[in-house]
Amino acid sequence: VYPIREGGRILEFIYSSKRLKTKGGLTAGTATTHYYASEEFNIKQEKTKSFTCSPQEVIFGGDYKQSTYCHLLLGLLFWDEVELIASTFAYSIVQAFASFEEQWEEICSDIKDGTLSSRITLPRMRKAVLDIISPNPCLASQIEAICRDSKASNWYGIVPRLWPNAKYVYSIMTGSMQPYLKKLRHYAVSLPLVSADYGSTEGWIGVNLDPCLPPEDVTFAVIPTFSYFEFIPLYKKKQDLTSSTVGYIEGEPVPLSQVKLGQEYELVLTTFTGLYRYRLGDVVEVAGFHNGTPKLNFIFRRELILTVNIDKNTENDLQLAVERGSEVLSKYGGELVDFTSHAEVMHQPGHYMIYWEIKGEVEERVLGECCGVMDASFVDHGYVVSRRTNSIGPLELCIVETGTFNKVLDYFIGNGAALGQFKTPRCTNNHILLRILNLCTIKRFHSTAYN
């Protein structure tokens, strides 16, 4: 659909995390970590005649900040060869360009002089990158001119300007990645966003057969031989019929061949690597069929639920409410960088807390309005009734200082997560995370939507 030149390059924001040995001698790690270390990763590059810009030492560096800097530097050095921009999850691309906004001058200076910033301290990474680069003052001044100009328009369309031969951006953009689409579109503008396949470390699931579709409309055709798939039908409880909540009754699992159009299911995998009837925790809807295999719409992860008492709101419900609130924010020139939430039940009545990191100067009055709009956007019957009777208190919007979500990321990476597979938790009860968020809160607003 979007043909690329043979022998071109992929600017891939990919990162591997640590691998460890189990007592039984098996190597354990995330799916992508195994993949980048495997022979298949090289075979894929040879067969598709598309080569990643960064050497193994950058992908395996172990420090995502240093790796991101080198990915960007090398991507720019090979600017005319780059045919596509990719990552596993869309978050990594948005995160990389947020760093680029801060570091572009340093990167340009490295390109000009053929040097490497002192922020790269890992010896193997330094050597590998220095072996590739050489001074290129002409390229550096071209990039500098583009950046100066783009900075004035808040980096609108920076991707096609820096990589004019790139044909598309490829990454997982559905589910919990959907909130980053707006920023991705801002950076990529005219470049098609191709939503990547659906899978997990436990087992791969389905492929996107319609790469032209906007990510919001993408479905995934299950490849029946990836695992033995079963589907637990999920029926909404009667009182929840009017809402999009998760008050589900579970039916008996059915095999792939017996799923029904329009029905929601939880996925169950039995894999070749030994998982037996493993509940993945993802809720999907059958949106159609490709030949005999179902095309799935990813709905949300089941365990992510905001609840105080009889209310139940999923990641999807939260995402919708935040989307409504952030529409108000953008109307007044603000931008939502990232968000998470917490159901506060230590004090009576319990209430929802939504943490926002924002960019741009916005009046307090506007933030108060955003808070009210989000509160009114949760349509779950249990929530609405509880809010009306004040058995759930007003929704609290906490504005956190710039860089807070980077601290959240650092906390997870410090505990062994891989940037390439990182997903900001949309709802948390983690004490350390809540401590970071609360320490970084600079403004608080309470909804008056139900006053």
Task: Provide the β-strand partners of residue 342.
Answer: 353
Contact string (CB under 6 A) for ligand AMP, positions 72-101, x = contact: ------------------------------
Q: How far is the CB of 302 from ligand AMP (least distance, A)?
A: 9
Residues 30-59: x where in contact with ligand AMP by CB under 6 A, - otherwise, as a string = -x----------------------------
Angle between helices 90-113 and 64-77 (to 10 degrees): 60
Q: Per CB under 6 A, does 174 bind ligand AMP? A: yes
Establish if 110 lies at the interface with ligand AMP (CB under 6 A). Answer: no
Q: In this complex, which beta carbon is closest to ligand AMP, that of residue 95 or of residue 447?
A: 95
Comparing every residue's Cβ against ligand AMP, the nearest one is 175
User: Angle at CA 384, nearest 5°, toward 423 and 333?
Assistant: 55
Contacting ligand AMP (CB under 6 A), which of 8, 61, 75, 175?
A: 175
Which member of 9, 126, 301, 342 binds ligand AMP (CB under 6 A)? Answer: 301
Cα–Cα distance for residue pair 264/124, rounded to 1 Å: 48
Q: How far is the CB of 284 from ligand AMP (least distance, A)?
A: 9
Q: Which span sits near ligand AMP by CB under 6 A: 199-207, 328-336, 380-388, 397-405?
A: 199-207
Residue 54 CB coordination number (10 Å): 28
Q: Which residue, 71 or 301, has its beta carbon nearer to ligand AMP?
A: 301
Query: Measuring CA to CA, which residue among 306, 310, 303, 304 is closest to residue 387?
Result: 310
Residue type, 123: P
* 198 binds ligand AMP, rule: CB under 6 A: yes
What does the alpha-carbon distance between residue 181 and residue 419 come to, in Å, rounded to a whole number? 18
Residue 215 interacts with ligand AMP (CB under 6 A): yes or no: no
Radius of gyration in angstroms for the set of CA atoms belonging to the chain, rounded to a whole number: 23
Min. distance of Cβ 345 from ligand AMP in angstroms? 26
Give the C-alpha distances (Å, rounded to integers) separating 39 from 62, 86, 229, 316, 429. 20, 20, 28, 38, 40
The region of 115-123, 140-148, 195-203, 236-244 touching ligand AMP under the rule CB under 6 A is: 195-203
Asked if 201 is part of the footprint of ligand AMP (rule: CB under 6 A), the reply reads yes
Q: Does 200 bind ligand AMP (CB under 6 A)?
A: yes
Binding-site member from 68, 421, 441, 447 for ligand AMP (CB under 6 A): 421
Site membership for ligand AMP, residue 282 (CB under 6 A) = yes
**Contact region with ligand AMP (CB under 6 A), list: 198-206, 326-334, 354-362, 434-442:** 198-206
Residues that bind ligand AMP (CB under 6 A): 31, 172, 174-175, 198-201, 280, 282, 298, 301, 421
